[in-house]
Amino acid sequence: MRVGRPRDEKVRRAILTAAQELVLEKGYAAVTTADVAKRAGAGKQTLYRWWPGKGALVLDAFSEWVQQAPRLSRRKPSLSSTLVEFCRGASEAAPVLRALMAEAQFDEDLHRRLVAQLVRPRGDELRACLEDRRPSDRELVVNVLSGLVWQRLMLNEPLDAQFVRFALRVVERI
């Protein structure tokens, strides 16, 4: 149960928007919580009352961005279309994702949040396309695709149509 004043949704949105904009403009490493607070018109103490640090704040900003991204409106999207969307979103946020992944190696709380807010939901989206496979094969495909995407992200290699075709050929053999 939260103690103290409830979050003001307008302030929260302003902070998340400021964090996203600044990180895209300046890069993760160059942005401080003071920069975010100033752009959002909020006090730095407000940020620290709601988020334990910059990593958690930026992760929340980009998690919301991912959740608000347009999705294909099909009952059961294909693996191909889901992977294309996954790669498009990851490409747009690649520098931020790389920075969050790097920081999560040294911050257990950020690591847990990254898995819960970005990694697991993307895996769930892939799993939903694989209901016709045995559960063990489904997990293998999700892990292979996730691994391929994260490897490309970390190496700053394109997540383009050629990559999607390659990844789909790989999982056809599973």
Torsion 67-73-79-85 (CA) sign? negative
Phi-psi region of 163 (alpha: psi -120 to 50; beta: other; left: phi over 0): alpha
How far out from the chain centre does Cα 23 lie?
14
Read off the pLDDT of each residue in 159-174 and give the average, rounded to a whole number.
95
At 93, give phi and psi (nearest 5°). Answer: -110, 15
Identify the CATH number of the domain defined by range 1-50. 1.10.10.60
Going from N- to C-terminal start, the domains of the chain cover: 1-50, 60-173
Q: Residue 121 has which token pair?
A: 């939901």
Read off the pLDDT of each residue in 54-72 and give the average, rounded to a whole number.
82
| Length of the chain as a residue count | 174
Torsion 131-136-140-146 (CA) sign? positive
The CATH homologous superfamily of the domain defined by 60-173: Tetracycline Repressor, domain 2 (1.10.357.10)
Query: Does 121 score more than 80 pLDDT?
Result: yes
In the predicted model, what is the mean pLDDT of the chain?
90
